[in-house]
Amino acid sequence: MATISLVMIVKNEEAILERNLGTYKHIVDEFVIVDTGSTDKTKAIIKKYGKLHTLKFTDYVDTKNRALKIATCDYILFMDADEYFTTNVDNVKQYAESGVNCLSVKVDEYSGPTVICTYYRNRLWKNNGEWKFMGAGVHEVICGLGDITYDRSIHVKHDHTHRNEVPVERYEQYVKWLAEAIEKNPEDARSMFYLARTYRDLNRFDLAIDIYEKYLNMSNNPFIDERWQAAYDIALCWKVNGEYDKVFECCDRAIEIDPRRAEAYNLKGLLYYNMQKWEESIQCYEKGKSLPFPEDVMLFIDPQAYELIPLDNLSICYDRLRQYKKSKSLIESWLAQSTYIDERIVGNLAWTNSKLHQKIFMALGYTPEPVYGGMMETQGVHGLETTYIELSEELARLGHTVFLFVRCDEEHVYNGVYYIPYNRIGSYFSAVPDILITSRWFDSLYFENYTKKIIWFQDAFFQDPNRSDAFSRANMLICSSLWHWHYIIERLQHSIDAKKLKIVPLGIRKDLYLQSIERNPFKVFYSSNPDRGLYILVDMWKELTEQIPQLELDIYYGWEGLKTWSDNKNWQDQIGQQYSDTMKKLSDFGNISFKGRLTKKDLAKEMLSSTLCLYPNNFWETFCLTSLEAQAAGVPTITTDKGALATTLNKECNVLIRLDPFSKEYKDAFIKETVNLFSDKTRLKQWSLQCRDYIMSGKHDWTDIAQQWSELILCLQ
């Protein structure tokens, strides 16, 4: 059975010695604890574990070598007084039993609960007289003949917590020893390296840089870990005095020496961070984070550089860019990987959550019809109301607290959204909202000054606000399409800040269009207010049915929506007359069905059973939900190249006619395109698939739209 001598040289270690020696009792057979001049209770503690040995301290190399000669067991386990094993200590004994020549283990340096530096050190070797410490009196290294076994699963903690700072006099002694060694042997690269490190520890950075440079220019120092450390330490020295250009240069030098190391990338990231250049900082930290921990590095390496440091700083950079979702994800990764709780990190998470979860007021206002939660499941709903309901529910699903101020009788909650009567919005500002969104009711912009305000131009821009400063009150303006953006700029020009004007499209529920329904090969539909193209379609219907006798037309929405706009008798009479005139024109046709306003679910079924959407639009659409829905159903559209229709429709599988929709030329072109498409079944089928793929593969769902909104909202914080 192999025996082990624990060898140490100690001085005034009463604070930790007994605690640490106790951790070795079950694996060592002999305690060779050599005192070098203690004046406290250290000697008494040594006697509890065996014979007291004393030696006069000369330097670390000589004194440790003399201590080695005292050991009598088969193996020497050499440790410092402030070291103890934290993992797999029993494996040390097993290595001795197996006849290992020399065992090198991981030594960990801590700052609080965190390992900030780790390196390999030979700690167990055969006591055959062939192993000796070498060096310039300090920074000694054990050397001997034969193989060295490295085991990264065995860890030693180097515990400095009980010690005061190393006195300057001791560092000066180190300088003396190292300088003497270099004087004797100018090619002593190792002494040159540690002399530079000692000057760095003494804050004599200019000297440290000079000596590091001499070291790097030597031809006999192939140890890559040491060379990398020298280049990296030079960068740290330059950083102290703000020599950032030189730091970047030295970081690149370190990266060239060993591109596996993350520390230099992180240091570059820190410089950019200090300069508040967040994108550049992110680029560097992301590179550092992407590098795996290089397990074969023997010398000093900070494991946090490959884990917590880039995660921490990246989270802050993304926070500064108001990318709170990314910031939160990085913080959560930090907490998942860390072995301890950091109050600052937890505080950062709370901060990020507060940004991700906003209190949002959506002021829909006094709409033609009452609005209530769940109404979209029971009836057809106007476009403006649809978008507010859909967006509010999705923002609530993202974690925001959403209040929807509408024309309703009493407060209620549906799908996480608080429905509040619009006439009570003023009293609710005591809840201190983060965001206010409004479209046509601008009085809500004036209740207070602290809330971030968004004007959502929505699906139309009918008239200027009743107060001239409304647009300047808003922090952001949102429109629905590129054409809409251009139109607003043309109309308002320099009365608004173009940088405030953002484009966010409207959306649909793509899941409604996943069901399989048999198509009627001759069913076409019109889905909008009648004044947006139905009257034009009616004028073409006779010729269309003459050329395609099997055609069947379904009309959705129609006059039902228009009737809700006003209770005024003149308005109702006007709508009634339009309806009567249209019905008179269509009385001879038996292939037209008026379906009225349908729920979104029922409308999807109707569209899925259709073949073509006929929409001879004469209205400046700022967006067109029907266009998205038709394409999701795999239904191509024939319409006018007007307003935002060119944005919402894929031009490769839909027909957009660039003519005046009231002209004869337009009607002739519309009829021709319709007939040609029905005559070409192959193209019609191909276009159907293209339309569907265009929507299903793109970000057209309300979940996608809400994400865009949420990101813009966060940019206001």
**Rounded Cα gap, residues 490 and 635, in angstroms:** 33
**Rounded Cα gap, residues 170 and 134, in angstroms:** 19
Name the β-bridge partners of 478: 456, 502
Which residue do the tokens 């995660």 mark?
A: 311
33 within 8 A of 21, measured Cβ to Cβ: yes
Q: pLDDT band at residue 463, thresholds of 50, 70 and 90?
A: low
**Rounded Cα gap, residues 528 and 537, in angstroms:** 12
Q: What type of residue sits at position 503?
A: I
Domain co-membership, 688 together with 641:
yes
Query: In the predicted model, what is the mean pLDDT of the chain?
Result: 92
Name the β-bridge partners of 301: 118
Residue 491 has pLDDT above 70, yes or no: yes
Give the model's pLDDT for residue 583.
78
Helix (H) or strand (E) holding 127: none
What is the torsional sign of CA 394, 395, 396, 399?
positive
Domain co-membership, 482 together with 592:
no
Inside any domain, residue 715: no
Inside any domain, residue 163: no
Domain co-membership, 139 together with 185:
no
Give the model's pLDDT for residue 240.
95
Give the model's pLDDT for residue 522.
96
Q: Around Cβ 576, how many Cβ atoms within 10 Å?
A: 12
**Rounded Cα gap, residues 606 and 528, in angstroms:** 14
Among 363, 385, 362, smallest CA distance to 597 is for 385
Least confident of 210-214, 374-378, 493-497, 613-617: 493-497
Distances (CA, A) of 588 to 525, 526, 582: 19, 19, 11
Q: Mean pLDDT over residues 589-608, rounded?
A: 92
Q: pLDDT band at residue 183, thresholds of 50, 70 and 90?
A: very high
- Give the model confidence (pLDDT) of 417-437 as tens digits: 999 999 999 999 999 999 999
What CATH number did the domain enclosing 388 receive?
3.40.50.2000
Which residue do the tokens 């330059």 mark?
A: 238
Question: What's the whole-model pTM score?
Answer: 0.70
Give the model's pLDDT for residue 278.
98
Distances (CA, A) of 388 to 72, 374, 381, 705: 85, 13, 11, 12
Q: Which of 503, 526, 558 is the last residue of a domain?
A: 503
Phi, psi angles (nearest 5°) of residue 714: -65, -30
- Give the model confidence (pLDDT) of 283-340 as tens digits: 999 999 999 999 999 999 999 999 999 999 999 999 999 888 899 999 999 999 988 8
Give the model's pLDDT for residue 166.
67
Q: pLDDT band at residue 462, thresholds of 50, 70 and 90?
A: low
**Rounded Cα gap, residues 465 and 407, in angstroms:** 20
Q: pLDDT band at residue 164, thresholds of 50, 70 and 90?
A: low
Give the model's pLDDT for residue 559.
72
Query: How many domains is the chain built from?
Result: 4
Inside any domain, residue 353: no
First vs last C-alpha separation in the chain: 69
Rounded to 10 degrees, what is the CA torsion of 267, 269, 272, 274? -60
Q: Does residue 22 sit in helix, strand or coil?
A: coil
- What single DSSP character describes residue 404? E
Instruction: Name the token pair of 651.
Output: 């031009």
Q: Does residue 154 sit in helix, strand or coil?
A: strand
Domain co-membership, 374 together with 406:
yes
- Give the model confidence (pLDDT) of 609-623 as tens digits: 999 999 999 988 778
478 within 8 A of 500, measured Cβ to Cβ: no
User: Residue 160, CB half-sphere, CA atoms under 13 Å: how many?
Assistant: 13
Helix (H) or strand (E) holding 94: helix 89-98
Residue 191 has pLDDT above 70, yes or no: yes
Residue 349 has pLDDT above 60, yes or no: yes
**Rounded Cα gap, residues 502 and 504, in angstroms:** 7
Q: What type of residue sits at position 537?
A: L
Among 86, 7, 4, 12, smallest CA distance to 45 is for 12
Q: Which of 158, 180, 208 is the last residue of a domain?
A: 158
Q: Does residue 468 sit in helix, strand or coil?
A: coil
Residue 73 has pLDDT above 70, yes or no: yes
What CATH number did the domain enclosing 121 receive?
3.90.550.10
Inside any domain, residue 709: no
Q: Mean pLDDT over residues 242-256, rounded?
A: 97
Q: Mean pLDDT over residues 436-452, rounded?
A: 90
* Strand intervals (E) in 504-651: 523-528, 552-557, 592-596, 612-615, 637-640
Q: pLDDT band at residue 575, thresholds of 50, 70 and 90?
A: confident
Residues 6+ apart with CB under 8 A from 8: 32, 33, 34, 67, 78, 79, 80, 81
Domain co-membership, 526 together with 660:
yes
Q: Around Cβ 217, how many Cβ atoms within 10 Å?
A: 9
Helix (H) or strand (E) holding 299: none
Among 123, 134, 133, smallest CA distance to 100 is for 123
Domain co-membership, 252 together with 183:
yes
Domain co-membership, 365 together with 315:
no
Residue 460 has pLDDT above 60, yes or no: no
Q: Mean pLDDT over residues 148-157, rounded?
A: 95
Q: Which of 455, 476, 503 is the last residue of a domain?
A: 503
Domain co-membership, 212 together with 141:
no
- Give the model confidence (pLDDT) of 4-27 as tens digits: 999 999 999 999 999 999 999 999
> What Rg value do the Cα atoms of the chain yield, rounded?
39
Q: Mean pLDDT over residues 232-245, rounded?
A: 96
Domain co-membership, 522 together with 482:
no
Domain that holds residue 283: 168-348
Domain co-membership, 205 together with 292:
yes
Q: Mean pLDDT over residues 333-351, rounded?
A: 91
271 within 8 A of 248, measured Cβ to Cβ: yes
Q: pLDDT band at residue 578, thresholds of 50, 70 and 90?
A: confident
Inside any domain, residue 267: yes
Q: pLDDT band at residue 266, thresholds of 50, 70 and 90?
A: very high
Residue 64 has pLDDT above 90, yes or no: yes
237 within 8 A of 270, measured Cβ to Cβ: no
Q: pLDDT band at residue 1, thresholds of 50, 70 and 90?
A: confident
Domain co-membership, 320 together with 179:
yes
Domain co-membership, 595 together with 662:
yes
